[in-house]
Structure 1
Amino acid sequence: MILETTSAQVVGKPVKGMEEILTPETIEFLETLHQRFNATREERLRDRAERQKRIDSGEFPQFLPETAAIREGSWGIGAIPDDLQLRRVEITGPVDRKMVINALNSGADVFMADFEDANSPTWENVVLGQINLRDAVRRNIEYQNGKVYRLKEKVALLKVRPRGWHLPEKHLLVEGKPISASLFDFGLSFFHNAKELIARGSGPYFYLPKLESHLEARLWNEVFVAAQEALGIPVGTIKVTVLIETITAAFEMEEILYELRNHIVGLNAGRWDYIFSAIKKFRNQPDILFPDRTAITMQVPFMKAYTDLLVKTCHKRGAHAMGGMAAFIPNRHDPAANKTAFEKVKADKDFEAKNGFDGTWVAHPGLVSVAREAFDKVLGNKPHQKEVLREEVNVKAEDLLNFSIEGGKITEAGLRLNINVGILYLGNWLCGTGAAAIHNLMEDAATAEISRAQVWQWLHHNNTSTDDGTPITEERVLRLIKEETENIKEEVGLARFKNCHFERASQLFSELVLSTCFVEFLTLPAYKYMD
């Protein structure tokens, strides 16, 4: 199906309700955003590639000398709306209709509707996701599947996470080129819902993923100003939280807050992408080798430094500091695993609350009460704890780059787990599921990225062995991929194995980890298989 304007084409199979979302006026709005900002977006992506070359040559990130005046200044962010003051527990998930209803009804303070890591960006998922948001904002969303799902009287506050700057949306072409998926997701949600949200006493609120520099934050700010002016909405109405989930952004937290100061309300410690970013950025450094992902906890030096700095930076500037995702999920069929999951989530959230965070993330409604209890205990009746300034924290560049992990090992079990999770997740993603329950964890693109990045790093560092002394070679990895693919076939059943393209996922995983050149994001080559 092709819908055209002057220079834009919507290319994709018909989706029920698509004409209500992709109206001529909406397409024209998206087209304008693309024409104004895509060249700068591409420049920022080139900046990323140049910075990677410098890291590969041994020039590691540092706090920028040219922005020292911003870090030393006495400025603060703009006013935070009343409905964004209390964010004790936020739940995240994909934008399918049932998930949207359940998340809004979960008892969490905020629901982050995720078009990014938790969403498999099939054309149908993307279009229906926007329809679901439109209906949720107007409170007329309903889902029936033997049981009728509707919104409760009191629901979570809605925030939307568009896809990152690096991703395209191939089903909308402007002058023959795919539009930025970021502009597509943001633009559609904003165009259809901003005025309705304002009329209902709230506003257009967003999460911004995978920024790598303050210049990327500046670009978002320019997009927000243009979008608000185009719709006649006061500049500053849009409010965003930025995920600090790349190691380069950790060195520019204050600058990111400053660039977005009229629109930003907080930063979030996006821990899983942050771990992936650390592995990715330093993948070619012979002296930096990460152990099994289970050993990379929030207490290891580089992770603790990053979260301490985030809390201090946010509270210094009047912003919320939001904790990271608890990926554990309840398992009603395994009481022992369920007990372990709840204990780990409780310990994680107790740690965050005591360290000054104002709220946190969970991936499952069953964990909302566990997270809330941890923050209730520390915050009491306060909406946040921004008075906790963490003045004792003095994080230096070397602290953010301290990758020593005491007792960390590379094991056969860790290698197998990475291969198994990577293939399982890719198969689910190719089948249209972006957030998959795997081994009692909610795996999304970020955790799958850690898995394949670790296998790549271990394979391409000379003389890397597992702790039993066995070298990690191409032959060994290929053998384990074959074995784990067979294990997956047995686990999911032959019909699902074929229907969800697990054979293709296995092949794609092999290509990603064997490639001499590290592929920046696994979703980029996988996206070519997407309808």
Structure 2
Amino acid sequence: MIGLGNYGFTAPAARKIDAYDVPEGVDIRGRFDEEFAKILTKDALQFVADLQREFRNHINYAMGCRKEAKRRYNEGALPGFDPATRYIREGQWTCAPVPPAVADRRVEITGPVERKMIINALNSGAKVFMADFEDALSPSWENLMRGQINLKDAVDGTITFHDRARNRVYKLNDQIAKLFVRPRGWHLPEAHILIDGEPATGSLVDFGLYFYHNYAIFRKTQGEGFGPFFYLPKMEHSREAKIWNCVFERAEKMAGIEKGSIRATVLIETLPAVFQMDEILYELRDHSVGLNCGRWDYIFSYVKTFQGHPDRLLPDRVQVGMTQHFMKSYSDLLIRTCHRRGVHAMGGMAAQIPIRDDPAANEAAFDLVRKDKLREVKAGHDGTWAAHPGLIQACMEVFTNNMGNAPNQIQTVKREDAANLTEEDLLQRPRGVRTMEGLRLNTRVGIQYLAAWLTGAGSVPLYNLMEDAATAEISRVQNWQWLKYGVELDGDGLGVRVNGDLFGRVVEEEMARIEREVGKDKFRKGMYKEAGKIFTRQCTAPTLDDFLTLDAYNHIVVHHPKGLSKL
């Protein structure tokens, strides 16, 4: 848990006495707002508090197990399949049938819970929109609470947005995507809400507030009697999935709805989790609709898991794609596992965005997307992710041309060949070169993403790609890894080893480049210098921080004295 000593109180210049109506043991330290109060009702907060009190010991135990696993890996151990749960992997069980409302998920779009984004994503033509409280969102109090308001308006169909700059009003079409919501991971606190004197668990706040206010309407308008639907991030072990299953059962009991109404897809985005896929599905078998290849976080997790292994250094991040053997093996095994258990095997993110001022570069980007999606559908994936509405049609065409009218490939592509994949296949060292340009790109992207995150933007277009916390994490941990082990660079950097002096010079030069690219005025007004300091400190730290955003979170938490509102 994060202690309150990390955060200061910021008193507004103008004061208005007001306060949220909270149940016993709950304290709201975020600013008061009448709109937020419609979300932070006494009953909704009581539901969140009940979840926190029932499950916090289980969550703390699971986080302790993560630390113990990290210690073992740092001492030379490798992740692998658990002999104790072999009976689950070899058993003939299946998950509950996929609800008809989400049988077809061939293209999903993702993005933060920002109002205009929600409308555009639901109208995009995608089958599913994953509204994100996690990697695509900077979790400021304002973003989180407005996100809950936006989702409530989206579920009841009243959401609109007036873009005054364009003098355009955005509203929902008659046909919209199905809504999934991704709460934060188990490791992230919500420091603006204290329960029994401790920061609440971010995932329970996100899930609890959304579920409480929306389950009844959602089941009528979107779920065809099922739902709500969720994506679950960052898990490393099936014990963490078991907690979610218990949370779902507790929520269903509170709401008086059937067991198995809530459905969730788990992102397999940590290296330890790839060895737990059957076990994760087993724990969630009444509530599961599949697994997803969260490939960017998976690359980040590969470095983090092997931070103590100098023989497992990554090449430039642009070279670590799905053709690397360990990445292909991960995707193939995920497809086999999901289809064997009767649920969706979702593909990874297309991070490209349309390049409007360069037709040739735009066509090259779309060609990369089409090839990636063709690889996924032919491998057996039931759907894929895109980060931008402009990619939906291209992705949809690839999947439709290869799947036809079938809503998915669960029954038709079994991938029994993947049954022979071994631990060695899933851990094979990636191949490629490490270059000065790779070091520079990591630094440039990491600093710019973090600068945006500190000012409230969690999803940022940079160099024709949509960057979120996952891709920024790859930049950070790769720099850390190269620095720790003094990597010798290939190419133009031949014979040059990465050390503190070289990295310091790269940071200085890339900060100057960022200033030129964004303009002096924007650079001066932004958080670039602060981001540069945080990113540099994390890249050069003796011990690798678990998450970039967990440390940076201290910089966006603003506590208001109880009962005060900013006017």
TM-score w.r.t. the length of structure 2 is 0.92
SS in 2 for 1:481: helix
Q: Calculate the aligned-residue CA RMSD, in Å.
A: 1.1
Q: Which amino acid aligns with 1:80?
A: V
Residue 322 of structure 1: aligned partner: 346
Residue 376 of structure 1: aligned partner: 400
Residue pairs, 1:91-240, within 5 angstroms: 91-145=109-163, 146-200=167-221, 202=223, 203-240=227-264
2:37 aligned with 1:19: yes
SS in 1 for 2:79: coil
Residues 358-367 or 396-405, more deviating? 396-405
Residue 496 of structure 1: aligned partner: 522
Residue 562 of structure 2: aligned partner: none
2:489 aligned with 1:465: yes
Residue 415 of structure 2: aligned partner: 390
Q: CA deviation at 1:79?
A: 1.9
Deviations 1:428-466 (CA, angstroms, capped at 9, x unpaired): 100100000000000000000000100000000145434
Q: Which amino acid aligns with 1:497?
A: F
Counterpart-to-counterpart distance in 1, 2:208 and 2:526: 31
**Quick check: 1:466–1:472 contact (8 Å CA) kept in 2?**
no
Residue 461 of structure 2: aligned partner: 437
Residue pairs, 1:322-361, within 5 angstroms: 322-361=346-385
Deviations 1:93-122 (CA, angstroms, capped at 9, x unpaired): 011100000000000000000010001111
Counterpart-to-counterpart distance in 1, 2:370 and 2:222: 34
Residue 89 of structure 2: aligned partner: 71
**Quick check: 2:315–2:430 contact (8 Å CA) kept in 1?**
no
Q: CA deviation at 1:44?
A: 0.6
SS in 2 for 1:158: strand
Counterpart-to-counterpart distance in 2, 1:301 and 1:25: 50
Deviations 1:236-286 (CA, angstroms, capped at 9, x unpaired): 100000000001000000000000000001100000000000011101102
**Quick check: 2:188–2:550 contact (8 Å CA) kept in 1?**
yes
Residue 529 of structure 1: aligned partner: 555
Q: CA deviation at 1:494?
A: 2.8
2:86 aligned with 1:45: no
Counterpart-to-counterpart distance in 2, 1:225 and 1:385: 29
Counterpart-to-counterpart distance in 2, 1:488 and 1:176: 42
Q: Which amino acid aligns with 1:194?
A: Y
Q: Which amino acid aligns with 1:389?
A: K
Counterpart-to-counterpart distance in 1, 2:187 and 2:243: 13
Q: CA deviation at 1:5?
A: 2.5
**Quick check: 2:130–2:181 contact (8 Å CA) kept in 1?**
yes
SS in 1 for 2:257: coil
Residue 538 of structure 2: aligned partner: 512
Query: Among residues 456, 480, 500, which one is paired with 1:474 in the alignment?
Result: 500
Deviations 1:200-244 (CA, angstroms, capped at 9, x unpaired): 251200000011000000011011111111121211100000000
2:289 aligned with 1:261: no
Counterpart-to-counterpart distance in 1, 2:516 and 2:142: 29
Counterpart-to-counterpart distance in 2, 1:268 and 1:428: 27
Counterpart-to-counterpart distance in 2, 1:11 and 1:494: 36
Counterpart-to-counterpart distance in 2, 1:111 and 1:38: 30
- Unaligned stretches of 5+ residues in structure 1: none
Q: Which amino acid aligns with 2:278?
A: E
Counterpart-to-counterpart distance in 2, 1:42 and 1:464: 40
**Quick check: 1:337–1:440 contact (8 Å CA) kept in 2?**
no
Q: CA deviation at 1:14?
A: 2.9
Q: Which amino acid aligns with 2:42?
A: P
Q: Identical aligned pairs, as a percentage? A: 49
Q: CA deviation at 1:496?
A: 2.4
SS in 1 for 2:498: coil
**Quick check: 2:28–2:193 contact (8 Å CA) kept in 1?**
yes
Query: Relative contact order, CA 8 A, sep 6+: which one is greater?
Result: 2
Q: Which amino acid aligns with 1:187?
A: G
Counterpart-to-counterpart distance in 2, 1:129 and 1:299: 37
SS in 1 for 2:110: strand
Residues 466-475 or 114-123, more deviating? 466-475
Counterpart-to-counterpart distance in 1, 2:47 and 2:430: 48
Q: CA deviation at 1:498?
A: 3.2
Query: Among residues 275, 281, 292, which one is paired with 2:299 in the alignment?
Result: 275
- Unaligned stretches of 5+ residues in structure 2: 1-17, 559-567
Runs of 4+, deviation exceeding 3 Å: 1-4, 462-467
Counterpart-to-counterpart distance in 2, 1:139 and 1:254: 37
Counterpart-to-counterpart distance in 2, 1:284 and 1:185: 34
Residue 77 of structure 2: aligned partner: 59
**Quick check: 1:431–1:499 contact (8 Å CA) kept in 2?**
no
Q: Which amino acid aligns with 1:427?
A: A
**Quick check: 2:349–2:385 contact (8 Å CA) kept in 1?**
yes
Q: CA deviation at 1:176?
A: 1.3
Residues 14-23 or 313-322, more deviating? 14-23
Counterpart-to-counterpart distance in 1, 2:93 and 2:483: 47
Counterpart-to-counterpart distance in 2, 1:128 and 1:498: 28
Q: Which amino acid aligns with 1:503?
A: K
Residue 434 of structure 2: aligned partner: 410
SS in 1 for 2:453: helix
CA distance 1:363–1:463, shift in 2 (3 Å): closer
Q: Which amino acid aligns with 1:36?
A: E
SS in 2 for 1:149: strand
**Quick check: 1:2–1:12 contact (8 Å CA) kept in 2?**
no
CA distance 1:466–1:201, shift in 2 (3 Å): closer
**Quick check: 1:113–1:160 contact (8 Å CA) kept in 2?**
yes
**Quick check: 2:486–2:498 contact (8 Å CA) kept in 1?**
no
Deviations 1:411-437 (CA, angstroms, capped at 9, x unpaired): 011000000000000001001000000
